C-alpha cells in the first residue's frame, strides 16, 4: 500500500457514492440510538430497499443530541443537505416522499443556526458523515493518508517536528505539550516501547471520547500508528471503559479492518514498521484515567497510581518507555500530518492551539457535542451555540473539568476558553465536559456531589486523599444540611489546602477544586447555609454561630 494505492481505493469509493441520487444519513451514535434511531434506520432501509438511486447510511454523532434521532438527506442538485430532527419511524414515508421536492418543514432543523455555523471541525470532521464501520468510507475521506505519508515520505524526526510546530497540547485535561511528550519517548534508548490511548473517560458529564470512538474510530487508530512510528513503538493499547459497549464494538471492527488492509499489523505499507493494537477494558474506576494507575490496570493489577518521576515516558508499562495520550489528542494527529503543523498552529490562541471538543449538557437548550476553536468566549458557547438556559430560568454557573474542575459564574463568561485562562479563573479545561447550571442548583450541593464522587473513587493508597475526601465530604454534608458552623467552614478550607498539597496523584490533588471554586464565587451560599440553617433532624439547633473547636 502506497499513496497511489490509497488514492485509487479512495476514488473508487467516491465514484460508487456518486452514482446515488440521494444519500440518507442516520445518526447511530449512542445518544440518538437511545432516542430510537435504530427503528428509524430499519424503516428507512425497508422503505428504500430495491431503489438504486438512494443510499441509506448509518453514521456517527451529528452533535445535536437534544434533537435526536437526527436524519440528514443529501440530494444531487440541491445546494445544501437537509437535516431533520426528532424523527420517528412513522415519519419515514413522508421524508421519502419529499426526496427531490420540498422539505418537510415540521421536522426541519436549520443547519444555519449558530449551533452548527459557529463550530469549526477538525476532530469531528468525519463525525456524522462517514459510516464508522466501513474503513472504505474513512479512506474516501482522506483517511490513512497521513499514516502512509508519514511512513513513506517522512522520517521520524520530521513527524516529531510537525507535531511540535502544531503546538498541540494534551486534550485529556493536563494540557502537556504533545510534541515534547513524543520527543521524550522517542529519545529513550529501549528496544521495546508502547503507545497507550487513554479512553477511560470517567468524568461524569463528558462524552467526547465516546463520540469520537463511535463516530470515527479509524482516526484514533491512525493517530496512534503515527505516534508509534514517531517514537519507535510497535505495540499499542486502547484502554477503554467497559461502560461504552458500542465504542468497543466499533473499535474492534476498525482494528480488524485496518489489519486486513495492512494499515495495522506487521510490515505496514511494505516498510519495516509494525504496529499492533489491543483493547483493554476498564472495570469502572475513575482513578484509572490517571496515567500510572491506568498502566497498573493494563498490567492486570489494582488501578493504583504510583509516584512520578519516573514518568511513563521513561519507565511505563512493564518498565518500558510508554507514550500515553488521550483519544482526542490522537484524533488531532492525522489532520496535522496531512495539512501541516503550521496550519494547525494558525487556529486558536497564542498558547492553546487548534480546536476543542466539548460535551454540552445540563440546563441548556441545545445539548450535544460541539467543536470550537480555542479562545472562543464561554458566553458564545453557552448563549449562542448552546442557545442559553431554557424555561425563563437564569444562568448561574458553568462547570468545566468534572470532579477536578470548577464552577464559573456569570461574570467569567467573557473569558476566552484556553488552558491557562481557565486555570487562572479557578477551573480547568479538563477533558471537555461542560455542564450548565441554572438558579435551581445549590452550589453547596454541587460541591458535595463532586466530593462524594472523589471520596468513592479514591483508590485508598495515600492518606490525604483517602481520609481527606471523607472528612471534606462530611463537612460539606453538614453545611448543606444547615448544621454547619463557621468553624466547619474554616476547617473545610484548611483541609482543601492539605489535600491539594499532599495527595499522591491528580485525583486527590484536584479533588478540592470544586469546593475552592464554589467558595471563591458563591461563598454567600455557604454562609447563608450557616446562618439560616434549619434545625437538624435530631432536634439540635443547626447553624448555630459557635466555634466548637475553641
Partner 1 sequence: MSVKRNKPEAPTADNRWKMVDVTMRRNGYSGHALIETLHTVQEVFGYIDDPSMRYVAEALNLPLSKVYGVATFYHLFTLKPKGKHTCVICTGTACYIKGAGELVEGVQQRYHVRPGQTTPDGQLSVVSARCLGACGLAPAAVLDGQVLANQTADGLLGKIEKVLQHES
> Minimum CB separation from partner 1 for residue 434, in Å?
10
Q: Is position 97 an interface residue for partner 1 (rule: CB under 8 A)?
A: no
> Minimum CB separation from partner 1 for residue 379, in Å?
20
Q: Taking Cα atoms as reference points, which of 92, 79, 107 lies closest to residue 38?
A: 92
Q: Is position 449 an interface residue for partner 1 (rule: CB under 8 A)?
A: yes
Q: Which is nearer to partner 1, 285 or 516 (CB)?
A: 285
Q: In degrees rounded to 5, what are phi and psi of residue 372?
A: -130, 155
DSSP readout, 297-355? HHTTS------SSSPTTTS-GGGS-EEEEEHHHHHHHHHHHHH-HHHHHTSB-SSSBSE
Question: Omega before 213 cis (within 30°)?
Answer: no
- Collapsing DSSP to helix, strand or coil, 487 comes out as helix
Q: Is position 237 an interface residue for partner 1 (rule: CB under 8 A)?
A: no
> Minimum CB separation from partner 1 for residue 26, in Å?
17
| Contact range with partner 1 by CB under 8 A, out of 13-21, 31-39, 134-142, 183-191 | 31-39
Strands of the sheet containing 194-199, edge to edge, are: 276-281, 235-240, 194-199, 322-326
Which pairing describes strands 82-84 and 71-75: parallel, antiparallel, or unpaired? antiparallel
Mark residues 55-94: x for contact with partner 1 by CB under 8 A, - for none. ----------xx-x--------------------------
Q: Which is nearer to partner 1, 66 or 352 (CB)?
A: 66
Q: For residue 506, what is the enclosing H or E element?
A: helix 506-510
| Contact range with partner 1 by CB under 8 A, out of 150-158, 223-231, 445-453, 541-549 | 445-453
Among 280, 353, 473, 529, the residue binding partner 1 under the rule CB under 8 A is 280
> Minimum CB separation from partner 1 for residue 65, in Å?
3
> Minimum CB separation from partner 1 for residue 205, in Å?
4
Upper half-sphere CA count for residue 188 (Cβ side, 13 Å)? 26
Strands of the sheet containing 54-59, edge to edge, are: 54-59, 22-27, 71-75, 82-84
Residues 187-226 interacting with partner 1 (rule: CB under 8 A): 201-207, 210
Among 6, 26, 33, 82, the residue binding partner 1 under the rule CB under 8 A is 33
Among 301, 350, 414, 547, the residue binding partner 1 under the rule CB under 8 A is 301
| Contact range with partner 1 by CB under 8 A, out of 91-99, 278-286, 465-473, 494-502 | 278-286
| Contact range with partner 1 by CB under 8 A, out of 102-110, 129-137, 242-250, 340-348 | 242-250
Q: How far apart are CA 344 and CA 165, in angstroms?
A: 8
Q: Is position 302 an interface residue for partner 1 (rule: CB under 8 A)?
A: yes
Number of other residues whose CB lies within 10 A of the CB of residue 362? 19
Q: How far apart are CA 171 and CA 230, in angstroms?
A: 19
Q: How far apart are CA 371 and CA 273, in angstroms?
A: 33
Among 6, 30, 264, 398, the residue binding partner 1 under the rule CB under 8 A is 30
Q: Is position 285 an interface residue for partner 1 (rule: CB under 8 A)?
A: yes
Is-contact 214 247, C-beta < 8 A? yes
Among 286, 330, 395, 522, the residue binding partner 1 under the rule CB under 8 A is 286
> Minimum CB separation from partner 1 for residue 278, in Å?
10
- Collapsing DSSP to helix, strand or coil, 197 comes out as strand
Q: Which is nearer to partner 1, 301 or 494 (CB)?
A: 301
Q: In degrees rounded to 5, what are phi and psi of residue 285?
A: -140, 115
Q: How far apart are CA 247 and CA 489, in angstroms?
A: 43
Number of other residues whose CB lies within 10 A of the CB of residue 91? 18
| Contact range with partner 1 by CB under 8 A, out of 170-178, 225-233, 431-439, 534-542 | 431-439
Q: Taking Cα atoms as reference points, which of 199, 69, 60 lies closest to residue 124?
A: 60
Among 60, 132, 303, 533, the residue binding partner 1 under the rule CB under 8 A is 303
Q: Which is nearer to partner 1, 35 or 178 (CB)?
A: 35
Q: Is position 358 an interface residue for partner 1 (rule: CB under 8 A)?
A: no
Q: Which is nearer to partner 1, 232 or 362 (CB)?
A: 362
Q: How far apart are CA 319 and CA 310, in angstroms?
A: 10
Among 138, 330, 453, 521, the residue binding partner 1 under the rule CB under 8 A is 453
- Collapsing DSSP to helix, strand or coil, 550 comes out as coil
What's the burial of 334, exposed, middle or buried (CB within 10 Å: 0-12/13-18/19+)? buried
Q: Which is nearer to partner 1, 47 or 441 (CB)?
A: 441
Upper half-sphere CA count for residue 446 (Cβ side, 13 Å)? 33
DSSP readout, 201-235? --STT--HHHHHHHH-HHHHHHHHHHHHHHHT--E
> Minimum CB separation from partner 1 for residue 437, in Å?
6
Cell readout for 201 is 473517560
Q: Which is nearer to partner 1, 147 or 505 (CB)?
A: 505
Among 132, 175, 312, 368, the residue binding partner 1 under the rule CB under 8 A is 368
| Contact range with partner 1 by CB under 8 A, out of 8-16, 125-133, 283-291, 505-513 | 283-291
Among 116, 244, 320, 526, the residue binding partner 1 under the rule CB under 8 A is 244
DSSP state of 535: P
Among 127, 297, 352, 517, the residue binding partner 1 under the rule CB under 8 A is 297
- Collapsing DSSP to helix, strand or coil, 393 comes out as coil
Q: Is position 480 an interface residue for partner 1 (rule: CB under 8 A)?
A: no
Which pairing describes strands 71-75 and 22-27: parallel, antiparallel, or unpaired? antiparallel
Q: Which is nearer to partner 1, 156 or 234 (CB)?
A: 234
Among 173, 362, 482, 543, the residue binding partner 1 under the rule CB under 8 A is 362
Among 327, 361, 372, 515, the residue binding partner 1 under the rule CB under 8 A is 361
Q: For residue 397, what is the enclosing H or E element?
A: strand 395-400
Residues that bind partner 1 (CB under 8 A): 30-31, 33-35, 65-66, 68, 201-207, 210, 242-244, 280-286, 297-303, 359-363, 367-369, 399, 402, 433, 435, 437, 441, 446, 449-450, 453, 457, 459
Amino acid at each position: 500500500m502506497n499513496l497511489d494505492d490509497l488514492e485509487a481505493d479512495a476514488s473508487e469509493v467516491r465514484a460508487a457514492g456518486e452514482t446515488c441520487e440521494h444519500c440518507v444519513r442516520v445518526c447511530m451514535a449512542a445518544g440518538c440510538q437511545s432516542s430510537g434511531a435504530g427503528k428509524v434506520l430499519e424503516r428507512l432501509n425497508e422503505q428504500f430497499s430495491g431503489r438504486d438511486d438512494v443510499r441509506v447510511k448509518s453514521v456517527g454523532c451529528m452533535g445535536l443530541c437534544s434533537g435526536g434521532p437526527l436524519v440528514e438527506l443529501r440530494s444531487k442538485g440541491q445546494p445544501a443537505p437537509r437535516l431533520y430532527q426528532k424523527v420517528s419511524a412513522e415519519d419515514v414515508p413522508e421524508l421519502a416522499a419529499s426526496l427531490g421536492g420540498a422539505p418537510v418543514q415540521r421536522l426541519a432543523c436549520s443547519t444555519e443556526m449558530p449551533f452548527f455555523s459557529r463550530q469549526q471541525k477538525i476532530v469531528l470532521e468525519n463525525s456524522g458523515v462517514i459510516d464508522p464501520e466501513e474503513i472504505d468510507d474513512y479512506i474516501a475521506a482522506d483517511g490513512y493518508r497521513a499514516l502512509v505519508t508519514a511512513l513513506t515520505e517522512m522520517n521520524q524526526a520530521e513527524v516529531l517536528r510537525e507535531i511540535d510546530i502544531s503546538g498541540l497540547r494534551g486534550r485529556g485535561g493536563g494540557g502537556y505539550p504533545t510534541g515534547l511528550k513524543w520527543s521524550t519517548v522517542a529519545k529513550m534508548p529501549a528496544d521495546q516501547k508502547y503507545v497507550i490511548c487513554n479512553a477511560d473517560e470517567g468524568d461524569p458529564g463528558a462524552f467526547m471520547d465516546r463520540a469520537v470512538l463511535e463516530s470515527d474510530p479509524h482516526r484514533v487508530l491512525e493517530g496512534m500508528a503515527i505516534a508509534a512510528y514517531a517514537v519507535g513503538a510497535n505495540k499499542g493499547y486502547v484502554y477503554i471503559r467497559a461502560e461504552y459497549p458500542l465504542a468497543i464494538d466499533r473499535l474492534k471492527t476498525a482494528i480488524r479492518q485496518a489489519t486486513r488492509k495492512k494499515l495495522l499489523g506487521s510490515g505496514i505499507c511494505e516498510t519495516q514498521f509494525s504496529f499492533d493494537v489491543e483493547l483493554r477494558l476498564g472495570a469502572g474506576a475513575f482513578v484509572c484515567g490517571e496515567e500510572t494507575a491506568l498502566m497498573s490496570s493494563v498490567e492486570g493489577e489494582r488501578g493504583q497510581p504510583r509516584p512520578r518521576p519516573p514518568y511513563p515516558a521513561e519507565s511505563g508499562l512493564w518498565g518500558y518507555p510508554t507514550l500515553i495520550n488521550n483519544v482526542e489528542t490522537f484524533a488531532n494527529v492525522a489532520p496535522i500530518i496531512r495539512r501541516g503543523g503550521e496550519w494547525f498552529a494558525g487556529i486558536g490562541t497564542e498558547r492553546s492551539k487548534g480546536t476543542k471538543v466539548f460535551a454540552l449538557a445540563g440546563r441548556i437548550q441545545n445539548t450535544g457535542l460541539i467543536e470550537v476553536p480555542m479562545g472562543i468566549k464561554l458566553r458564545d458557547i453557552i448563549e449562542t451555540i448552546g442557545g442559553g438556559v431554557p424555561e425563563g430560568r437564569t444562568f448561574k454557573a458553568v462547570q468545566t473539568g468534572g470532579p477536578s474542575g470548577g464552577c464559573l459564574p456569570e461574570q467569567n463568561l467573557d473569558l476566552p476558553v484556553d488552558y491557562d485562562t481557565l486555570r487562572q479563573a479557578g477551573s480547568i479545561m479538563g477533558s471537555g465536559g461542560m455542564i450548565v447550571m441554572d438558579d435551581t442548583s445549590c452550589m453547596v450541593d454541587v460541591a458535595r456531589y463532586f466530593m462524594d464522587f472523589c471520596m468513592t473513587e479514591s483508590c485508598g493508597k495515600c492518606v490525604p486523599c483517602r481520609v481527606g475526601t471523607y472528612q471534606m465530604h462530611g463537612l460539606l454534608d453538614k453545611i448543606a444540611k444547615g448544621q454547619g458552623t463557621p468553624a466547619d467552614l474554616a476547617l473545610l478550607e484548611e483541609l482543601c489546602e492539605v489535600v491539594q498539597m499532599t495527595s499522591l496523584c491528580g485525583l486527590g490533588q484536584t479533588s478540592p477544586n470544586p469546593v475552592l471554586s464554589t467558595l471563591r464565587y458563591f461563598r454567600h451560599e455557604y454562609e447563608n447555609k450557616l446562618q439560616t440553617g434549619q434545625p437538624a433532624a435530631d432536634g439540635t439547633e443547626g447553624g448555630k454561630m459557635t466555634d466548637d473547636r475553641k
